[in-house]
Structure 1
Amino acid sequence: MKFNPDEIKEATRADFDTAWNEGRKYISSPGVNEKYPRYALRYGKPHPVFDTIQRLREAYMRLGFEEVMNPIIVEDRDIHKQFGYEALAVLDRCFYTGGLPRPNVGISDERIGKIKSILGDLDDERIERIRQILHSYKKGEIEGDDLVPEMAARLEVSDSRVAVMIDRVFPEFKSIVPVCSQNTLRSHMTSGWFISLGAMCDYRTTPLKLFSVDRCFRREQAEDATRLMAYYSASCVIMDEDVSIEDGKAVASGLLSQFGFSNFNFRPDDKRSKYYVPDTQIEVFAYHPKLVGSRTKYRDGWVEVATFGIYSPSALSQYNIPYPVMNLGMGVERLAMILHDSTDIRALTYPQFQYRINWVMSDSDIAAMVYVDDTPATQTGREIQSAIAMACEQHGDTPSPCGFTAWEGRLFDKNIRVKVVEPEENTKLCGPAAMNEIISYKNDVLGLPRIPRWDDAFRNGVSTGIRYIDAFAARCAREIEDAAQKGSDCEIRVRIIKVPSEINIRLDPVAQLYITGNKKKIDIRGPVFTTVRMEII
């Protein structure tokens, strides 16, 4: 059954926001959650880094900062202007950009012969077109991704044949080695701030409060649990005649307090970057009660979360910036690790590559992946499902032979009667496992009765809210709908359950993989012995 997006009109943005704040996974949408239980409106899950970025953006704007985008590609001469004699050490950590040079390709008589063997007997005019196209490519008049389609169009042959010809006749294209440029990928946001402020100071009034949350790139020797080569920096600047380190303290406190940090401690930073005024480079340490006793290295609750300082006048003068500038920055991933209780930045940022090592599913995660397979498609069918389950609840222990009418009415313009029956003697209307409930307990998926023996499992596990009889009643209602449409009676039976599918239960393959991979078990067995009959009257 396909999900129709038109059915979700009842759900508004406010519904999502309210449910998100309440920590719910689903929102109520009449006509959708009932009609399409597998497609109930479920919240998308934000990536922890991008979730933190969004929160940082909102926090900066609440403090009156304006968002900008700084250049990502920075010439190495700007690094020299900013760092002076320390520039080479900084550039050692930068990625330089490079590109493929365009070869000077000639066409000999031998190559003309090969071209004709691939493209056919081209005349001299078309051979000349190839020379002209290659010459234009060398001069940069034709881009690399346009070379093949341009040549194919001019020669009136297919793209694929031209691609084969270039591959076989012009080996120069395969032996090209990238050539490095003088451009670097921004290794820290400061590189971009000098360029941006130098361009803005002539036409923007002070005080100027700007922020940017964006990518930076650093050529680390190796990535590990605490560093990545590509990371996000949340950086801001205040340009004003009277800016001081007190402004940095105020911004750090105002920004980080929005994330639950308190009791800030400001300490001189020993790194002493060249582009800061001496003794103004300050590390920000903050206390967060969530960290106390956590599994991170910040068990005492204190963590370094940011650094700020006043840009050096000599560095600012390289960009004709006449005003003092305070800069504060922090690594987004570090903040995200704190907020999401993570100990490995790689697992936090790229969980798709780390799950086999760090993959942990809770009982709640597993329980959410257990669902009823076949379900009724109509409102009447859902009423029949509920009626069957209720009849079994009320009369399940009745000695047999016996039978009880669960529902009677019209379905698809037919009068029908639905009964729960047990024709055999010396038993009961329903088997002893009919009311078993499916739960996830210590990552096992179990079907258990609510009796004192299993109190611990129900108390410490997570129930799916699905009983065997609920799943069976859903299948019965679906088959009754199909039979009523055809105008025929039907009978649905369930006996001893050995596997989940026999009671109309399905586990998401992800949950199955996790359970079997961790040597846990799926045990949904038991004698249900229930029969439902529908007859047209």
Structure 2
Amino acid sequence: MTEAYLMKGKPENGNDAKMENGKTRPSQKKEGTLDQMKSEDIVNYLYGRGHPHPISEGVSEMRELLLDSGFDEIYTSFFVSRRDLRELTGELYPVLRDSVYHLSWVRPAPLGPTPDVDRRLMARFPDLDRAELWNILDALDEDSSGEELLAQLMDELGLDVDDALTVMNMIPELNRGDPEVGDMTLRSFMPTSWLSTLEAIFDPENLPLRLFTVATAFRREAELDSSHIRTYNILSLAIGDDDLTLEKGMAVLRRIFDNQGLSDISFLEKSYQFPFFEKGTEIEIFGGDLELGTCGMCSGEILSSRGVTTPVFIADIGVERVLMHRYGYPDIRQLLYPQFFAAWNLTDEEIASSLRYLRKPQTDYGREIARAIHRTYRECREKEEDEKRTAWKGILASSDYGKFLVTEERAKELGIDGRPAEVVLRESRKGMGLCGPGAFNEIWVDQGNVVSVPPNMAKTLEERGASRTNKTFVKAFSRYAAWKIERSLERGHTSRKVEKIRDLEGINLKLTSKALYYILSHKKKVDVQGPVYLSFSFRVKDPR
């Protein structure tokens, strides 16, 4: 998908909202609003960093994983017509239709003058323009809305909002009538919402097609239990290419699950097939005994009816199910609504083991660079006179599998040629040396609280029974630096400077959602801060 497609429909300036007549929408600010209040008159609640919900955290992680893998993000419609639903469910429609939410609404009908209503209205509002009122009511049709009617009563009859509402409530026809079922449903099965998108953007000259969306789906489950809810989030992806097969699509999913640290993943052919998929290709995905989602090859007949002439693989992965499998939630409701369900009971040791690196190197050379950076910081931690020091030297080489880094010694041993490359640690603040006084702070868990302390306090915490995480600020920074270097081989340079730490994410760390919600629900704290003053740069030099 091209950049032009992604920019399609985007205004040149998001602040210049245009009305249909081409004029700029006037400002809605009024005197006396908060915009005119002095900042010192407002109590400041804007400080620190809040904690994300585990679902939004999981969604964010999955989005970044797909974006980093070259997939383009799109939105698909919440609404699916019953015609499309019937076409894509085929013989399963009688089985599935009662699990779909069918949309309905009240359709206003034109109203004629009613003596009884007239009499009561004139008694309540003797100065009401009766003829104008019935002109307004006469114009009602199935496309009219209650909000529009309220605005007309206020604008054309000069009523305030309370009187206009009173008029509307005195007309029985505006308060009666059952909703009528329309032609639209809320999406319950993601394949049904993919079809119109594939039809709209398919271009045989621009393959492979790699798209994803994180979408909310709605299912009228008969019963709610530990693994079934009526609204849930789905990571849905679509791949289209001329030589695409089911096996290739499943290989992509295995790589995605591996990158998320998920194990015990299995694929089983579904016992009954959704007609949207080619026969024999719909596969259920399991994490242990928990179903995580489905995948399969789209029906060629259905695709060709919409002008799509290449094979398409679609996978739907339940975000909540993935988080349940990863973190061991026994009940999906605990994950969704921790404020209403029993909190987790975790020991300090369990919380300590739940502290993870946000970013870490994925290759052998990346891990080697991370160790070299950490080792160099340890060697120069007390040397304030150091302004810079080379932590790693090697060459950038190429192979059939892409670019990679290798040490000078190893390159000579293997006879590999390439461009010189080096990682340099630099002084972040004059006179500070290569790292600040808090760079080697250790992270511990003490009675449910996550804290960072200088190394000389470690013994005290250990004697109190606190749990060591085996993570320090400088160790986390070293891993982030190596990860960033891995991703910069094409452009040949990158750098990063971190001065003061105020939270875990600021130094490349995070707690699992399970541990974080235990801490919040038990009124514990995460107190991680310190002056680290760390800086590195990576550069590939031009060949001599």
For normalisation by structure 2, the TM-score amounts to 0.54
Which residue type is aligned with residue 102 of structure 2? Y
Question: Which residue of 2 is the match for residue 332 of structure 1?
Answer: 319
Question: Which residue of 2 is the match for residue 401 of structure 1?
Answer: none
What is the SS of the residue equivalent to 2:211?
strand
Shift of 1:202: 4.8
Give distance in 1, aligned partners of 2:55 and 2:69.
21
Give distance in 1, aligned partners of 2:148 and 2:47.
45
Shift of 1:165: 2.4
Alpha-carbon spacing, 1:166–1:342, altered in 2? closer, same or farther (3 Å): same
Aligned length, in residue pairs: 328
Alpha-carbon spacing, 1:78–1:114, altered in 2? closer, same or farther (3 Å): same
Map 1:51-450 → 2, pairs under 5 A: 51-122=57-128, 126-138=129-141, 140=143, 142-167=144-169, 169-202=170-203, 205-262=206-263, 265-285=266-286, 298=288, 304-354=291-341, 357-358=342-343
Contact 1:67-1:211 at 8 Å conserved across structures: yes
Alpha-carbon spacing, 1:86–1:112, altered in 2? closer, same or farther (3 Å): same
Give distance in 1, aligned partners of 2:113 and 2:179.
24
What is the SS of the residue equivalent to 1:231?
strand
Give distance in 2, aligned partners of 1:514 and 1:234.
31
Alpha-carbon spacing, 1:441–1:193, altered in 2? closer, same or farther (3 Å): closer
What is the SS of the residue equivalent to 1:247?
helix
Question: Which residue of 2 is the match for residue 426 of structure 1?
Answer: none
Which residue type is aligned with residue 247 of structure 2? E
CA deviation digits over 1:36-61, x for unaligned, max 9? xx999643211111111111111112
Question: Which residue of 2 is the match for residue 418 of structure 1?
Answer: none
Shift of 1:252: 0.7
RMSD: 3.6
Alpha-carbon spacing, 1:193–1:283, altered in 2? closer, same or farther (3 Å): same
Shift of 1:79: 1.4
Shift of 1:281: 2.0
Which residue type is aligned with residue 115 of structure 1? L
Shift of 1:459: 2.5
Alpha-carbon spacing, 1:318–1:87, altered in 2? closer, same or farther (3 Å): farther
Give distance in 1, aligned partners of 2:205 and 2:56.
30
Structure 1 alignment gaps of length 5 or more:
1-37, 287-297, 365-438, 444-454, 463-509, 516-537
Contact 1:63-1:255 at 8 Å conserved across structures: no
Alpha-carbon spacing, 1:261–1:132, altered in 2? closer, same or farther (3 Å): same
Which residue type is aligned with residue 166 of structure 1? M
Question: Which residue of 1 is the match for residue 378 of structure 2?
Answer: none
Among all aligned residue pairs of Structure 1 and Structure 2, give the percentage whose two residues are the same amino acid.
Answer: 26
Shift of 1:171: 1.4
Contact 1:96-1:184 at 8 Å conserved across structures: yes
Contact 1:267-1:282 at 8 Å conserved across structures: yes
CA deviation digits over 1:151-197, x for unaligned, max 9? 12212222211211221x31122222111101100002111111111
Structure with bigger helix share is 1
Which residue type is aligned with residue 134 of structure 1? L
Which residue type is aligned with residue 276 of structure 1? F
Alpha-carbon spacing, 1:221–1:240, altered in 2? closer, same or farther (3 Å): same
Alpha-carbon spacing, 1:345–1:265, altered in 2? closer, same or farther (3 Å): closer
Structure of greater Rg: 1
Contact 1:218-1:230 at 8 Å conserved across structures: yes
Contact 1:66-1:209 at 8 Å conserved across structures: yes
Contact 2:111-2:140 at 8 Å conserved across structures: no
Give distance in 1, aligned partners of 2:45 and 2:347.
22
Shift of 1:440: 9.0
